[in-house]
Every structure is written in C-alpha cells, then in structure tokens.
C-alpha cells in the first residue's frame, strides 16, 4: 500500500524511468546469470570481479541470499513436481507463484548437495551481510542516484526501487508458475516445465523453461537465434572479455534427440486420430474363383494380391468410371503401377482404405501396404 501510494502521488520523470530500467537489468542479471545459472547450476565459471558484481546485483533484487536461493532451486530440480519441490507446480499456479513463500511448508523439503556453496567465501560473505547489501543496493542506491543527479529522491525510491523490485520478483515467480502451466514442451513432457515467451521477456530469457529442465547444466536457456535470452548473451560477452570461462553446453546430438522425440509424439497423436485401412491379417482370403464370382455383383478389382471394392469411388475417379469398370473382376496391378498411370502415394493410401479381402496365394502382404500405412505399422509395432 505504501508503494502504491507513492506511485499514485509521484510523477515519473523520464530520467527516472531509464534509471529504473537500468536497475531492472542489473538486479535481473544478478538472479539469472548469478543466482540461477552460475551458482544453482554451475553452467559456467566466473572471475572474482564478475562474481562480486552478480552477488551485489542479486542482493538488489531482494530475493534472499545466493546461498539460500541456490539451495532451494537445486531442490526444485531434484524433486520437480513432487511434495519435496518447494515450488511444486502440481499444487496449483497460485502456490507455485507465491504461495510457497507465504505458507509454512507442511513437511521438510528435499535435500540437495550445497557443499560447494558452503565452501565458497564470496557466497558466504554475501549470505552474512545480505541484509546490509539489500539496504544499500536494493533501496538506498536507486533513490540516491536519482536524487543526487536529477533531484528525484522519491521517484528513485518508488520507481527504481519498489516498482522495479516488484516486477523482478513476479517475473522470477512466473518462471515457477506460468512456465510450469502454459506454453510449449519442445524437448520433454515427463514433467510440467514449459517454454513461455512472455516469461522470457520478463526475466531476461528465463522463460524457455522446458529446455532448461531438460538440459539444466547448459548456460543457455534458448538455443535458437530468434529466441530472447539476453542472459545468455551477457554470459557470452563476459567470456569474450575474459570475465567468464568454461561455458557449458549440452551435446547438440542429445538436444536434437529430445526435440525429435517430442515431434514424433506430436505426430503420433495426429496419427491416432486418423482412420487407417483394415489390418491385412484380419482380411478374408478369397480364391480366384470366388473373386470372379463376387465381381459379378460388386465392383471389386485386384491390385498386387489384395481385393478392393471401388464402388464408392467410381464417380470420383479422375480418369472417369469407365476405366475402373473395365478392371472389375480383373488384375489391375500393372495398370495401377504405371501401365496406364503411375499413381501417387495419396492414391495408394486412398486405395488401401477400400481393401476388403486378400487373394489366396497373393504376394507377401507387407510389400503391398500403402506408404502411409507402412508408417502406421512401424509406429504401432515399435
């Protein structure tokens, strides 16, 4: 309420607006490049100056010390979507967004190895002096800079400090909530994380959460050139100026496997919605004599060992019904396979839907399946 009152009563100056954006980028990078990708996942190595910068920036976001934050995040990855997960998305979007911080946990959270964080002197320094750093860089610095340089202490406090902090908070919270409930699962669908572009915009690229959970040690959250991940770009620039090193990336071969697997699952769902020909193994088998006898009352033709009832297709045949009628009771294999016209894959697929029987002594069935049907059979038996 105090902050809302200030926003309603304090005009936003243009310099204060840009200063707020700078503070937003500063504190966001502390969380994304520091707390998350460096200390939670060790996805790259950072020099001492870069570590100090990120720890101060992280403190300005007022989301707890890096020691506390990274411990909780490692637990989240180890126990994702379980009762041991502090932001368990299966408890609902409100819980995963902010409820987990407002309600005392019903049980002790899962364990995670944080021995490296315990031994890190800079991490322990920030943890020890965290509240002092919050006061200086979270609240005082935004106000003092705006006040000293363009006489807008109140604007610096309400916009560059409180409003900026609120946006950064809910942006990061949205990774735990929105990016576990909405968006695309491009690499894995065993757990709830999803890629969410709007969350990426709010969080300097953290919204590609499905990729991140599939490949958590990768310093990138996005790998496609058009995806918005300024944290990745920041880390890459730091490497160029020798502030960062050993940027870790997941093998491209394995990333492609994950993407392909999800694409196959998507296609399988489409395939399962389609109608397919009768299984050849369940077809009745007719002798040549029985085929001849039945052709006197039904428009059936023989193609490569299978018998097809083309009655429903006579009027739709592109070459006219007379051509089909001319092959009723006859073997049309040569004509169908190029003697008159070499039919397309779609024609093979359509013909397969008209299959009603197999000829006794006909050629091996698998050689006569339509192109699309072969795909269906391989998927079904794999």
180, 91 contact by CB (below 8 A): no
The CATH-assigned architecture of domain 280-381 is Roll (3.10)
Residues recorded for the chain: 382
Domain ranges in the chain?
2-264, 280-381
For residue 57, give the nearest of 121, 123, 133 by alpha carbon: 133
pLDDT at 373: 58
pLDDT confidence of residue 320: 86
The upper half-sphere exposure of residue 49, i.e. CA atoms within 13 Å in the direction of its Cβ, equals 6
pLDDT of the chain along its 382 residues, tens only?
667 777 788 899 999 999 999 999 999 999 999 999 999 999 999 999 999 999 999 999 999 999 999 999 999 999 999 989 999 999 999 999 999 888 876 667 778 899 999 999 999 999 999 999 999 999 999 999 999 999 999 999 999 999 999 999 999 999 999 999 999 999 999 999 999 999 999 999 999 999 999 999 999 999 999 999 999 999 999 999 999 999 999 999 999 999 999 999 999 999 999 998 988 889 999 999 999 989 989 999 999 899 999 999 988 888 888 888 888 999 988 888 877 777 888 888 999 999 999 999 875 444 455 556 555 544 444 4
Q: What pLDDT is attached to residue 337?
A: 82
Residue 363 has a pLDDT of 58
Distance between start and end Cα atoms, the chain: 60
Rounded CA separation 50/163 (Å): 26
DSSP strand E in the chain: where?
45-46, 244-245, 285-286, 300-303, 306-309, 355-359
Q: Which pTM value belongs to this model?
A: 0.82
Strand partners, 245: 45
| 286, 360 contact by CB (below 8 A) | yes
Please check whether residue 160 is in contact with residue 142, taking contact to mean a CB–CB distance below 8 angstroms.
yes
- Cβ contacts of residue 250 below 8 Å, gap of 6+? 215, 217, 218
């Amino acid at each position: 309420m105090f902050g809302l009152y200030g926003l309603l009563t304090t005009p936003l100056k243009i310099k204060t607006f840009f200063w707020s954006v700078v503070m937003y980028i500063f504190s966001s990078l502390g969380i994304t490049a520091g707390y998350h990708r460096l200390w939670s996942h060790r996805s790259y190595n950072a020099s001492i100056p870069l570590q100090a910068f990120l720890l101060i920036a992280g403190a300005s976001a007022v989301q707890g010390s890096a020691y506390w934050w990274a411990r909780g995040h490692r637990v989240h990855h180890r126990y994702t979507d379980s009762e041991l997960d502090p932001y368990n998305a299966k408890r609902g979007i409100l819980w995963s967004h902010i409820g987990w911080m407002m309600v005392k946990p019903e049980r002790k959270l899962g364990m995670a190895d944080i021995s490296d964080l315990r031994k890190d002197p800079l991490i322990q320094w920030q943890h020890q002096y965290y509240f002092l750093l919050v006061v200086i860089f979270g609240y005082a610095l935004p106000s003092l800079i705006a006040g000293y340089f363009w006489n807008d202490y109140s604007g610096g406090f309400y916009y560059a400090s409180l409003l900026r902090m609120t946006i950064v908070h809910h942006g990061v919270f949205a990774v735990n909530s929105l990016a576990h409930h909405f968006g695309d699962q491009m690499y894995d669908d065993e757990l709830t994380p999803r890629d969410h572009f709007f969350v990426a915009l709010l969080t300097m690229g953290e919204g590609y959460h499905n990729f991140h959970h599939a490949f958590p040690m990768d310093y990138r959250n996005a790998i496609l050139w058009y995806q918005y991940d300024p944290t990745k770009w920041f880390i890459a620039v730091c490497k160029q100026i020798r502030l960062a090193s050993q940027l870790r990336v997941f093998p491209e071969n394995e990333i492609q496997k994950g993407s392909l697997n999800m694409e196959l699952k998507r296609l399988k769902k489409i395939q399962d919605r389609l109608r397919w020909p009768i299984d050849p193994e369940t077809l009745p088998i007719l002798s040549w004599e029985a085929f001849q006898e039945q052709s006197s009352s039904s428009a059936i033709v023989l193609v490569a060992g299978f018998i097809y009832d083309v009655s429903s297709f006579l009027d739709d045949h592109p070459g006219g019904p007379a051509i089909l009628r001319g092959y009723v009771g006859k073997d049309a294999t040569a004509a169908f396979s190029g003697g008159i016209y070499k039919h397309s894959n779609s024609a093979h697929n359509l013909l397969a839907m008209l299959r009603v029987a197999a000829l006794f002594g006909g050629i091996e069935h698998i050689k006569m399946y339509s192109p699309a049907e072969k795909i269906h059979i391989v998927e079904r038996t794999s």
